[in-house]
Amino acid sequence: MGMNRTGIQMSPLDSRAMQEVEPAIVSSDGVDERALAELRSDYIANADALGSVPLPGTLTGAVTVGVSMLKGDSPQILLDKLGERLAFERTGTRLYDALITKCDIMLTEDMSMTIDDLEQIRADEARHFLMVADAIESLGGDPTSQTPSADLVGVESMGLVQVLNDPRTTIAQSLHAIVTAELSDKAGWETLVALADEHGLAEMVDSFTQALNEEREHLALTQTWYEEAIGLTYGDVEIDDAASLLQAPE
Ligand SMILES: [Fe+2]
């Protein structure tokens, strides 16, 4: 608890005056909202796409992608999603770097999470990054190019990076952002396994499934650490007590 003055209860007189304003001023006929929506619609209708998947820059690449397209596959979708994983695993590595720096200063003995655990997950993310880069090259793509989905997840994860690098955030708050990243990681690998399977790329299905299992473990671990950090201790909860709380009072 602290000197937070953001709520309306902080100033009863002003808040009463604010609520007594002329009804016309706060009328909900939505004229302004409609004008805003119309303006946005215009932009949406005339907008470019979020970039494109690049054409292969090498002859071997062009042949690989060409053969795949002749077979009726859509290598551009797979390349786009591989670019997405590449971008997100790179960010993931940096998120763990930031968390490790934070834990060097703030981690206390009462948490089961250790810096070694974090170093290990960080190493997994870095290895996944290299695995995806290899996969892109094997399909004739260029891992240094930014695909539309790579751009998308770059924007999505900006908030997570900000949370981790903010010197004021606690370990619990940082873990909240990390859990969000791991949820997204797990979903991303699930999509990638399915896509590789659709393209009949058995080796990729195997290595991506391995990565997916590691991501599942990351999620389970970070979620447990997060709950520990906010003081949840399942060990103390008696099932009978929990059940009686759910029953309506007599
Ligand atoms: Fe992960």
**Mean pLDDT calculated for residue range 212-231:** 96
Q: How far is the CA of 215 from the centre of ligand 1 (A)?
A: 5
Q: How far is the CA of 92 from the centre of ligand 1 (A)?
A: 7
The predicted-structure confidence for 115-174, as pLDDT tens digits, reads as follows 999 999 999 999 999 999 999 999 989 999 999 999 999 999 999 999 999 999 999 999
Q: Is the pLDDT confidence value at 226 over 90? A: yes
Please tell me which residue, 248 or 209, carries the higher pLDDT value: 209
pLDDT for res 32: 72
Q: Is the pLDDT confidence value at 109 over 70? A: yes
Domain extents in the chain: 79-231
Q: Is the pLDDT confidence value at 55 over 80? A: yes
Long-range CB pairs of 51-57 (<8 Å, 24+ gap) are 51/146, 51/147, 51/148, 51/151, 52/148, 53/79, 53/80, 53/83, 53/147, 53/148, 54/141, 54/142, 54/145, 54/147, 56/140, 56/141, 56/142, 57/142
What does the block give as tokens for 131? Answer: 């695995």
Q: How far is the CA of 181 from the centre of ligand 1 (A)?
A: 7
Mean pLDDT, the chain, integer: 89
Q: How far is the CA of 121 from the centre of ligand 1 (A)?
A: 7
Please tell me which residue, 98 or 74, carries the higher pLDDT value: 98
Q: Which CATH number fits domain 79-231: 3.40.1160.10, 3.40.50.300, 1.20.1260.10, 3.40.1260.10?
A: 1.20.1260.10
* Single-letter amino acid, residue 148: P
